[in-house]
């Protein structure tokens, strides 16, 4: 069998968690391959709401195996809080959750470094989630990282070495901090981590594939936040794209099957950085209010705007998307007119390819669609779709050349319409 990948095509928060949960019954294993607790994946079912940060979103469906892959960065303390929260709500995950020994650890001083670097950037700050993601991946790439497997062997020594290096940098940045309490809790959380099965996940995953088992890889963040192809430097520090699933799990490119690209029927972004279709008017506020667009991890307001097909087509290309999944179209249910950006105008020239530089010079070129003006939140089948809604989907399919397989018309697990089965 192959690994299907589900990933965000915009600036994150597309609704990945919800759809991974919905698709999990079709798979034997669900696994995260990059990012860390900067992610906030929301799932709603049975009147309850859960927000997952490091634990894959396949954890609630029928005791399925879930793996935190080698490409992930893991903060033991945030992980402990998340896991304990699930156990307290009646979901004992210890037997079904496995963690790669090669995943890198987020140390307390990584969090401090994240804050110090942001402070040093002043107005140019990225607006990170403050979880230490950038500094942890920096240590990984500069070959100074500490990995999950290290907690099993002479850990204190490795930790002290990394901490001393971080402290020297923090000192040079004149950043004052006190991590005594945080450090104590962090070490308790490292002990807690040992309750879980720490594995060589690349062997486990490839062996499962050989046995004919199916795997769903759950992306975090989104393509426009990818370290290589996103709106650099306003990006995260990992490869959020499909290729990231190969390096973040240890599976060969030929083992990738379907690539599910997920996008909102409009667009949002949290943190700093360019956003060509951002709306600063009443329509933007309406999207924010109706879409409850506040970060699930930081609570920060998400910036809102129209769907950007220039960026979406780019994301489809980079990821080799085979099926699209459109989320939150219910947020547009009451709109008279819906706009879609099909090109950028830069210095009077029409540009249809996503350009190197995304800046204030970009004027989005829009086409307008009549809204469907229908409450779709209780719909269960494509047969009920209003004509205008079908026209909106068809346009996106024509522009991207990829079919929209699933649409989501509400936050609940049930509010999901699969348009066709493979
Ligand atoms: P993720 O990070 O990609 O998993 O997405 P988030 O969970 O951060 O953000 C998506 C938000 O939209 C969450 O609050 C979800 O509960 C909610 N959501 C998901 N799908 C839909 C939908 O189709 N309609 C509405 N109204 N909300 C949705
Ligand atoms: P999910 O998985 C939306 C953004 C931050 C910031 C930039 C870098 O829930 O879609 P980082 O802490 O990663 O160094 O921050 O990336 N960001 C996200 N935005 N959803 C996310 O995750 C994000 N993870 C990081 O706001 O702009
Ligand atoms: Mg999120």
pLDDT tens-digit series, residues 236-262: 999 999 999 999 999 999 999 999 999
| Statement: residue 297 has pLDDT above 80 | no
Q: Which of 411, 412, 415 to mutate to test the pocket of ligand 1 (most atoms within 8 A of CB)?
A: 411
3-state secondary structure of 360: coil
The per-residue pLDDT for 295 is 85
Nearest residue to 109 via CA among 158, 190, 53, 182: 182
**Which among 33, 52, 36 has a CA at the least distance from the CA of 44?**
52
Region at 297 (left for phi over 0; alpha for psi -120 to 50; beta for the rest):
alpha
- Mutation test residue for ligand 1: of 6, 16, 42, the one with most atoms within 8 Å of CB: 42
Asked if 283 and 29 touch (Cβ cutoff 8 Å), the reply is no
- Element holding 105 (H helix, E strand): strand 104-105
CA-CA-CA-CA dihedral for 373, 267, 6, 197, to nearest 10: -120
Q: What is the pTM for the complete model shown?
A: 0.97
3-state secondary structure of 349: strand
Strand partners, 198: 99
15: pLDDT strictly greater than 80 = yes
Q: How far apart are the CA of 145 and the centre of ligand 1, in A?
A: 33
What mean pLDDT comes out for the span 376-386? 97
Q: Which two tokens stand for residue 103?
A: 């995943």
User: Nearest C-alpha to atom 16 of ligand 1 is from which residue?
Assistant: 411
| Mean model confidence pLDDT for the chain | 97
The SS3 of residue 119 is helix
Whether residue 308 contacts residue 351, with contact meaning beta carbons closer than 8 Å, is answered with: no
Query: Annotated catalytic, 171?
Result: no
The protein residues having their C-beta less than 5 angstroms from ligand 3 (an ion) are 13, 40, 296
Q: What number is the average pLDDT over the span 323-352?
A: 98
Mean pLDDT within 180-209: 98
């Amino acid at each position: 069998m192959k690994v299907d990948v589900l990933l965000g095509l915009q600036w994150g928060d597309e609704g990945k968690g919800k759809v991974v949960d919905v698709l999990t019954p079709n798979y034997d294993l669900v696994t995260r391959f990059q990012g860390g607790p900067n992610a906030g994946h929301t799932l709603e079912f049975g009147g309850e709401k859960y927000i997952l940060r490091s634990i894959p979103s396949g954890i609630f469906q029928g005791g399925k195996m879930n793996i935190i892959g080698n490409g992930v960065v893991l903060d033991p303390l945030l992980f402990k809080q998340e896991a304990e929260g699930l156990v307290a709500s009646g979901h004992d995950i210890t037997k079904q959750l496995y963690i790669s020994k090669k995943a890198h650890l987020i140390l307390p001083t990584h969090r401090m470094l994240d804050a110090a670097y942001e402070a040093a950037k002043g107005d140019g700050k990225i607006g990170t989630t403050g979880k230490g993601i950038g500094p942890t991946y920096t240590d990984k790439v500069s070959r100074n990282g500490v990995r999950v497997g290290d907690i099993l062997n002479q850990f204190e020594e490795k930790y002290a070495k990394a901490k001393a290096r971080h402290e020297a940098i923090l000192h040079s940045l004149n950043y004052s901090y006190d991590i005594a309490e945080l450090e104590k809790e962090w070490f308790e959380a490292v002990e807690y981590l040992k309750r879980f099965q720490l594995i060589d996940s690349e062997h486990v995953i490839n062996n499962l594939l050989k046995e004919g088992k199916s795997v769903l890889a759950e992306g975090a963040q989104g393509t426009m936040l990818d370290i290589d192809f996103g709106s650099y430097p306003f990006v995260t520090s990992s490869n959020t794209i499909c290729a990231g699933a190969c390096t973040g799990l240890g599976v060969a490119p030929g083992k990738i099957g379907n690539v599910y690209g997920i996008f909102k029927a409009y667009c949002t972004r949290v943190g700093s950085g360019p956003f060509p279709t951002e709306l600063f008017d009443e329509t933007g506020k309406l999207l924010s209010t109706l879409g409850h667009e506040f970060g699930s991890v930081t609570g920060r307001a998400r910036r809102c705007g129209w769907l950007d097909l220039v960026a979406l087509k780019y994301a489809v290309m980079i990821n080799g998307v085979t099926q699209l999944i459109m989320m939150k179209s219910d947020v547009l249910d009451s709109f008279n007119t819906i706009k879609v950006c099909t090109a950028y105008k830069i210095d009077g020239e029409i540009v249809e390819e996503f350009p190197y530089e995304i800046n204030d010079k970009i004027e989005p070129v829009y086409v307008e669609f009549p809204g469907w003006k229908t409450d779709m939140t209780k719909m269960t089948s494509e047969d009920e779709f209003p004509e205008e809604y079908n026209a909106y989907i068809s346009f996106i399919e024509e522009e991207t050349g990829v079919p929209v397989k699933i649409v989501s018309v509400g936050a609940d697990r049930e509010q999901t319409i699969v348009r066709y089965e493979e």
